[in-house]
Amino acid sequence: MANETLLTNIAGLVPDIKAETLFILQNNAGILETVRMKDISGQPGSTVDFPIYGQVASSYVTSKTEGTAVTTNKQITNAATQALVAEKFIATFISKLAMDSAMGDLVADTSKLFASAIAAKLEDDIVGLYGSFATTLAGAGTTLTIDHIFQGKSNMFANKADNNRIYGVVSPKQYWGAKGLRAIIVDADADSGMLGEEMKNKGFVSDAFGMKWYISNEIDENVASGGDAAGAIYAHGAIGVGTKGLFDVWTDPVPRNLGFDIIGYGYWKAVELVDLWGNYLLTDVA
């Protein structure tokens, strides 16, 4: 029967769409590399716990004389931060005509559509936390300088963040604009530096000033209508993303054999974990 044939076709598409979308997400993760991820798929409940341990300072280490007892123990603290995952979804309708006429293209195009939208929503949730960092670099109406960048690194070093995994996440104008990172790199390196030449030749450098840089279209470039962009410089662990299945697909036949609704959905929540490991980078891009 026609309905059975259509159902078989769409059922066969589901794992293909899911597999290709996850592949796209994993290979274009972007700023997901900058955050601490934890997945609780297959576990009961919808709360993700991120244990946060207090720092162990050099002052905790004491000299001991042979034959004497150790009378003082230092308590290792654990302040867990919880992320209550929420459902995110995107839906589209695929007609029977589209199913019959473009099976191969349909899988690829639908997968890219879903992956692009879900990745953008993940980024939007993450960059939406940047303004909650207590420390602000530069400020409204202030042009980005190299001093702001190194101040961010200094802040995280002082607070014992992982200085091997520091990231700058900025808007397109904060990166390529006349008042952005591009201007700093080219101007500071114009005469003889390789970094400036690479920027001029390729239009992009992924590593500069001791950190990796990412660009997000989800960053507001007109904060409070002031022409400022809301990026951030932070260390891995400053932000966490709890998930319970990043992406899955559900299908539902539309009555009278007209086609199928396809819904892509995922469960996640982005939360700030360690405030002192992050810096809000608010700079003028007007």
* Predicted TM-score of the model (pTM): 0.82
Q: Is residue 152 part of a domain?
A: yes
The mean-pLDDT minimum among 50-59, 130-139, 211-220 falls in 50-59
Q: Is residue 132 part of a domain?
A: yes
Angle, in degrees to the nearest 10, between helices 146-158 and 181-189: 110
Q: Is residue 70 part of a domain?
A: no
More confident residue, 270 or 3: 270
pLDDT of residue 191 exceeding 60, the answer is no
Buried b (16+ CB within 10 A) or exposed e, 54-81: eeeeeeeeeeeeeeeeeeeeeeeeeeee
Tokens read off for 22: 């996850």
Confidence of residue 6 (pLDDT cuts 50, 70, 90): very low
Q: Is residue 74 part of a domain?
A: no
Q: Is residue 72 part of a domain?
A: no
Give the strand pairing for 166-170 and 211-215: parallel
Q: Is the dihedral of CA 138, 208, 176, 116 positive or negative?
A: negative
CA distances from 206 to 28, 53, 190, 202 (A): 14, 31, 18, 11
pLDDT digit string, tens, across residues 27-51 = 656 788 999 999 999 899 999 999 8
Q: Is residue 262 part of a domain?
A: yes
3-state secondary structure of 197: helix
For the chain, give the percent of residues with pLDDT over 90. Answer: 47
Q: Is the dihedral of CA 58, 59, 64, 68 positive or negative?
A: negative
More confident residue, 279 or 193: 279
Tokens read off for 178: 């006349």
158 near 135, Cβ under 8 Å?
no
Domain of 89 in residue numbering reads as: 1-51+80-286
* Tally of structural domains, the chain: 1
β-bridge partners, 101: none
Please list the alpha-helical segments (H only) found in the chain.
2-27, 96-101, 103-127, 146-158, 172-176, 181-189, 194-202
Q: What CATH code is carried by the domain that includes residue 8?
A: 3.90.1690
3-state secondary structure of 137: strand
Q: What is the mean pLDDT of the chain?
A: 84
Q: Is residue 64 part of a domain?
A: no
pLDDT digit string, tens, across residues 91-148 = 888 787 777 776 666 766 777 788 778 888 988 999 999 999 999 999 999 999 999 9
| 151-161 average pLDDT score | 94
Q: Is residue 61 part of a domain?
A: no
